[in-house]
Amino acid sequence: MGAPAHLSTDTAARRAADTSEMHNASVDEVAARQGACAQVHLPTGRMCILPHGHRGSCDFIPADAAYASLPPHRSHGR
């Protein structure tokens, strides 16, 4: 259940940041605030950077690669 196409990436990121998943130890808060799925595979530390609410299985990649692929963080006012 991803965000409708008419919602901006910032809107989708804010919506993702407001979910209870943010308080889950297996969700990376930084990546989730930027609109990513951000599920972390706890045994390996790999993270999914598919869009929040994506369908199907997560695609886990190394955390350093995940952070490098996230868009730069923008404040809500810009």
Domain membership of residue 56 (yes or no) is yes
Whether 77 maps to a domain, the answer reads: no
Predicted confidence band at 59 (pLDDT cuts at 50, 70, 90)? Answer: very high
Neighbours of 3 (CB within 10 A): 17
Domain tally, the chain: 1
In a domain, 76, yes or no: no
pLDDT digits (tens, 9 = 90+) for 32-46: 999 999 999 999 999
pLDDT digits (tens, 9 = 90+) for 9-26: 555 555 555 554 555 679
What are the tokens at 58?
């997560």
Closest to 12 measured CA to CA, from 21, 4, 20: 4
Looking at the whole model, is its pTM more than 0.75?
no
Domain that holds residue 21: 9-69
